[in-house]
Amino acid sequence: MDSYFKKRYNSFKFALQGLNSAVRSEPHMRLHVLSAIGVIVAGFLFDVTKTEWCLLAGSIGLVITAEIFNTSIETLTNLVSPQHNPLAGKTKDLAAAAVLVTAITAAIVGLIIFTPYVLDLLNAQ
């Protein structure tokens, strides 16, 4: 395998190790993955449109990405500031806030998409 492809292979391997690490070590990441699975199942059950799938996939990707960034920022902050430091705390709080905002936004997208389907289902009964 030449050098270029070996570097690309290693890049993907390390990225997948990072994703695996986040899922195994972060309870919130597991909650996000479980929520994503629920959204995907609901998407299939309600037969959402291609545009709705794009919005759902984008929302899922953003929440998981935000959680990975949060985890990496917290890990790095713990490394460089093992003792309590107000700025380290603020850094971690800001990273967590980014996840919260992203998750709330994703929930709003989910409500906008799924509410009409749920109402139609309830009205059909």
Cα 20 from Cα 28, distance rounded (Å): 13
Indicate whether 54 pLDDT > 90: yes
Cα 56 from Cα 92, distance rounded (Å): 27
pLDDT at 1: 58
The pLDDT-based confidence of 44 (bands split at 50, 70, 90) is very high
| CATH of region 3-124 | 1.10.287.3610
Instruction: Write down the pTM of the prediction.
Output: 0.89
- Asked if 55 contacts 108 with a C-beta cutoff of 8 angstroms, the reply is no
Distance, first Cα to last Cα, the chain: 60
Copy the structure tokens of residue 53: 């799938």
Kindly tell me the sign of the dihedral angle through the C-alpha atoms of 47, 53, 57, 59: negative
The pLDDT-based confidence of 105 (bands split at 50, 70, 90) is very high
Could you state, in order of their start, the residue ranges of all structural domains in the chain? 3-124
